[in-house]
Amino acid sequence: MTVAVLDTGVQPHLAMLEKNIARLDLVNESSVTLTNEHAWHGTAVASIIAGNSPDLRGLAPSAGILSIKVMGNDGTGNTFTLARGIIEAADRGARVINICMGTYSSSQLLEDAVNYAVQKGVAIVASAGNDGVEGVSYPARYDGVIAVSGVDASERHVYFANRGPQVDLAAPAVGVGAAWDEDRQALFSGTSAAAPFVSGALAWLMAANPAMSAEEATRLLYQYANDSVTPGRDEEVGEGILNVRRVRERGQKGIYDVGLAPLEVSAPPAGERFVTVSIMAQNRGTEPLSTFDMRIEAGQEAESAVFYNVGAGQSVRREKRLDAKLLEREPITVLVSVSIRGMPDAYPADNQKSSTISARK
């Protein structure tokens, strides 16, 4: 399985197998120059896909990396070179193309290159952009490209990640461990860190299932993504947050798992005094949940809810209203927990969420 990384070039690094890396330089700069500010970028991206060391292991550690240098060491590039890189990657047998660069201007040449690769059965993954704006950058914006936004460790959409109806998935984008220059490691943030999670997941999935097409693999990532804040597709995380474990375990019987999304707090509409806390729980296992319980604690108050017959992958919602006048006096911590009635939860780490809420006059 070959993944093309269209970036600043991939440097040799102890975290990756050098024999699994092929290089093509379309910028005519050295791919291993260590002295420039952005030379590490492609290496960090590649390590999330194919890192192969005990302390830095990628999602597809046996994948081959085709490093196509389309950006200079200063971190800039152009649509012509990017389009050429996409065509080269498709013609050289890459099954997945990872792109962590973008522009807010469409280019017919770039769109044609994307269409060429997609028609050859290549999965193209691109970062949504880091400007915190409404509108995904190109090429992530094109049809056929998987546009990846970012979340933090609490599964909340991060402020700098672009949003919009073109977002397809989200993945970790804050403090991701990655390879750096001179065999060092560092914490990597941005949608450039999120996109290679999706590329690595696709490479792993298609390598494990050689007859699976890129389209089929992509549908599985969408189907088994975690809902975040709202059920179904939204403009911040698209189809949801990548969950490779759920994809891996999709055919296994007897997995019972309920998880909570981050709590969402909505300010009261004009003329009203109640703050609304939206709570969403999702069946993330492989079996229907006949009954699970939810407990909501808000300051000194507590209430319970029971949900019945929640199918695998299905999400349910509950709301808690808080008096804004009380919040003006002191903050209130809302603590929510869920449990499956009569059996243990296979993955209990996401069974509890909390948020401290305050209001000012």
Residues sharing a CB contact under 8 Å with residue 114, sequence separation 6 or more, in sequence order: 86, 124, 139, 142, 144, 145
Kindly state the tokens that stand for 154.
């609490």
Q: Which is the catalytic residue, given 7, 227, 234, 257?
A: 7
- Selecting among 107, 137, 149, 192, the annotated active-site residue is 192
Compute, in degrees rounded to 10, the torsion defined by CA atoms 100, 103, 107, 112: 10
Are the C-beta atoms of 282 and 232 separated by less than 8 Å?
Answer: no
d(Cα 190, Cα 151) in Å, to the nearest integer? 9
Task: Verify whether residue 41 is a known catalytic residue.
Answer: no
Q: Of 30, 38, 152, 355, which residue is the catalytic one?
A: 38
100, 106, 107, 110: CA torsion to nearest 10: 30
- Asked whether 6 and 49 are in contact (CB, 8 A), the reply is no
Torsion of CA 23, 6, 197, 218, to 10 degrees: -110
293 is an active site residue: no
Residue 308: CB atoms within 10 Å: 11
Question: Is 7 among the catalytic positions?
Answer: yes
Residues assigned a catalytic role? 7, 38, 192
